[in-house]
Amino acid sequence: MINVSIAGGTGYTAGELLRILLHHPEVNIESVISTTSVGTPVAEIHRDLLGDTNLVFSETFHQPDVIFLCLGHGLSRAFLSDNNIPSSCRIIDLGNDFRNNPVFNNRHFVFGLCEQNREQIRTAMNVANPGCFATTIMLALLPLASRNLLKEEIHVHAITGSTGAGKKPGDTTHFSYRDNNISVYKPFTHQHLEEIGNTLKSAGNNNLPQVNFVPMRGDFTRGIFASVYTKWNGSLPEPEVIDLYKGYYRSSPFVFISQQAISLKEVVNTNKGLLHIEFHNGYIHITSIIDNLVKGASGQAVQNMNLMFGLDETTGLRLKGNAF
C-alpha cells in the first residue's frame, strides 16, 4: 500500500483528492494536515465523506511515501522549507509554485501533464501538477504543437465553474454574484499562460505564436469549457488532422476525440478530457472540456501518483459521470 499524506486538507482540491483516494485500492491515507482544523474529523469539513472515513485533521505527517500539497498558491515552498521531508518521499504539488520554476531545495519537479510527460513522470520524485485552465487548453493544442503546426495567433475563450476560485468565498464567488451571471476576468494576463506557452514550445512548436486567452466565470460549480481556434492554412488535410489527434492520444486512457459536439456535463465528476475538432472558413476550431477539480487538479494528481508508483494510471480513477 502507498502511504499518503495530504497537506492543506480543508479546501476543494483536498476534498476531491480524499474522495478519490479513500476508494483507491492501493492507498492508505496516513494523515490529513491542516493548521486551522487540528483534531476535527475530516467528515465534519468534507460533509460528503460522512460514513466513508474516521480520519481526523492533524498537525503533521508521519512516514508517508508521497505528500500531496493542496496549499494556496505560493505556500508550497514555505511548507517544504518548514518541514523535514525525507528525500525518499515523493511530492505532488497541486499549486503553482513549481510549474514554471521547477527546482527548489535540491528537488526537481517534473511538469505533471501525463499526456505529454508520461515517461518522465514514471521516474520522478517530485511532480508539479498543471493548472486547470492550462490542462484544458494544452490538451486542445498539443497534437498541433507536436508537429509545429501552430503558425497563426491562437484565440481561447474558456469558462470555469466557481470551484476553480477555491473554497474561501469572495466578491465574485458567492452565490448572489455567480447565480444567473457570467463575467470576464484576467483577460490576456491569466497566470496559466506561462505554463501553456512553455509546454507547447517543449512539445515542438518553438516559434509559438501569441496565445490570446480570455477566461470567464460561469454560473455553475465545476467544469471548464474551452473554445480554441486559429487560422488553418491547410498544410495538413482535415482528415489527417483528426488522425493526428487520435494518434497523439492513443495511449492516453482519459482523453477522447468526439465526432459529435461536446457539452460540459459529459466530463463532470470524471478524469476525462474530451475534444471536438471542426474546420470553418479557414479556421480550425477545437472545443476542450474537463472537470476542473478532477482532471484539472486532484484526478490528474492521482494519475501522476499512479505513474510514479508503477501502477496502471487509471487505478482509482474510473469515476462515474453525470449525464443529467
Per-position DSSP letters for 62-88, written without gaps between them = -S-SEEEE-PPTT-HHHHHHHS---TT
Phi, psi of 139 (to 5 degrees): -60, -35
Q: Which residues contact 88 (CB under 8 A, 6 or more apart)?
A: none
DSSP strand pairing (103-104 vs 107-108): antiparallel
Cβ burial, residue 147 (10 Å; 0-12/13-18/19+):
middle
- In three-state secondary structure terms, 56 is strand
Find the catalytic residue in 70, 89, 114, 132: 132
Q: CA of 218: how far to CAs of 110, 125, 140, 245, 292, in Å?
A: 31, 36, 20, 28, 12
**Nearest-angstrom CA–CA distance, 139 and 143:** 8
Grid cell at residue 302: 492521482
φ/ψ of residue 29, rounded to 5: -85, 110
Would residue 132 show up in a list of annotated catalytic residues for this protein?
Answer: yes
**Cell numbers for 222:** 465545476
How many Å apart are CA 96 and CA 109, to the nearest integer?
A: 11
Catalytically active residues, by annotation:
132
